[in-house]
């Protein structure tokens, strides 16, 4: 998916301009060695400038004991479907508000309530706090009466890895599994052992940043723990999984390895690779056509696995 054939000159211009702007504005938020609080503030400020999709409402709430944000389609009746969304940020930064573009478009495309978790962050709350919060939020949805086969767990970057870890932990606990997983540029190997050199188009994520985040999140715990690095896990009996990734990002290898490991474990898995797109490019939905196509494909995948509605207009 995401081929360049037929791409308009306007889209090429938009991609080039937004890549440069994100490098200048968002890049410092992912700079190793910068104080965590400064990085968090920078990411929040830049994300606040991005256009949230029309027709959705965002409301602070909680699911179980986990705080977060409920994102719903304005005026639409309850769809009976829920997406539990886990934001990225290297386990150390990010929040539901920094990812409203993604969660808003998912609410529209999936015809679902999206609960974006405000899970605990490192270094204040290291592993396994984030996994515990993800599992608690999922159980909160079940307690609200949402059926397991109507729940999808999604996430980007570290949140994508966390989504897989949550599914693994639910399997350990004997909790009914979700209907599907949707992962954008997932980070699933905190050992960084298979990380290759950055592609020429990478402008956001660096190996020093990942090393720092892994160290703060693990706080001395082994990176080989399957709940920290799901690529190390036995992945059998996980739900159908959609993975989306760009070619211009350092974590492309993680996505390809995870896809291969899921298929080897007998899990239905789909990998969609978007040429010349960067880490979590879905954050440009509403501006970049590839981002719109990616989230539309994610919505189609979710609806086909839960079969509870049609696309909201």
In sequence order, what DSSP letters do the residues of the chain get, joined into one string? ----TT--HHHHHHHHHHHHHHHHHTGGGG-TTS-HHHHHHHHHHHHHTSPPPTTEEEEEEEETTEEEEEEEETTPPP-S-EEEEE--STTTS--TGGGHHHHHHHHHHHTSEEEEE----TTTS-TTHHHHHHHHHHHHHHHTT--GGGEEEEEETHHHHHHHHHHHHHHHHTPPPPSEEEEES----TT-TT--PPPTT--S--HHHHHHHHHHHHTTS-TTSTTT-GGGS--TTPPPEEEEEESSSTTHHHHHHHHHHHHHTT--EEEEEETT--TTGGGGTTT-HHHHHHHHHHHHHHHHHH-------
Tokens 């990225």, residue located? 88
Catalytic machinery residues = 157, 249, 279
Which of 181, 66, 173 shows the shortest CA–CA distance to 121? Answer: 66
């Amino acid at each position: 998916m995401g081929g360049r054939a037929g791409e308009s000159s306007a889209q090429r211009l938009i991609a080039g301009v937004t890549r440069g702007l994100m490098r200048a504005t968002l890049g410092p938020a992912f700079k190793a060695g910068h104080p965590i609080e400064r990085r968090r503030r920078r990411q929040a400020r830049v994300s606040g400038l991005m256009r949230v999709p029309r027709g959705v409402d965002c409301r602070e709430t909680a699911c179980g004991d986990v705080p977060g944000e409920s994102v719903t389609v304005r005026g639409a009746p309850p769809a009976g479907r829920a997406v539990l969304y886990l934001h990225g940020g290297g386990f150390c930064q990010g929040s539901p508000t920094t990812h409203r573009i993604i969660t808003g478009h998912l609410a529209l495309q999936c015809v679902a309530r999206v609960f974006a978790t405000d899970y605990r962050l490192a270094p204040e709350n290291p592993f396994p706090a984030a996994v515990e919060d993800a599992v608690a939020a999922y159980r909160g949805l079940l307690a609200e009466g949402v059926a397991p086969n109507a729940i999808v767990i999604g996430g980007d970057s570290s949140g994508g890895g966390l989504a897989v870890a949550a599914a693994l932990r639910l399997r350990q606990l004997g909790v009914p599994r979700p209907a599907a997983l949707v992962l954008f540029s997932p980070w699933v190997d905190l050992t960084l052992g298979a990380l290759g050199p950055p592609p020429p188009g990478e402008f956001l994520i660096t190996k020093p940043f990942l090393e720092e985040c892994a160290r703060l999140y693990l706080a001395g715990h082994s990176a080989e723990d399957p709940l920290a690095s799901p690529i190390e896990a036995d992945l059998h009996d996980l739900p159908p999984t959609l993975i989306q990734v760009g070619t211009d990002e350092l974590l492309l290898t993680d996505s390809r390895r995870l896809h291969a490991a899921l298929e080897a474990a007998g899990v239905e898995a789909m990998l969609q690779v978007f040429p010349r797109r960067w880490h979590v490019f879905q954050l440009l939905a509403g501006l970049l056509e590839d981002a719109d196509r990616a989230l539309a494909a994610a919505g189609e995948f979710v609806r086909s696995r839960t079969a509870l509605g049609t696309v909201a207009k």
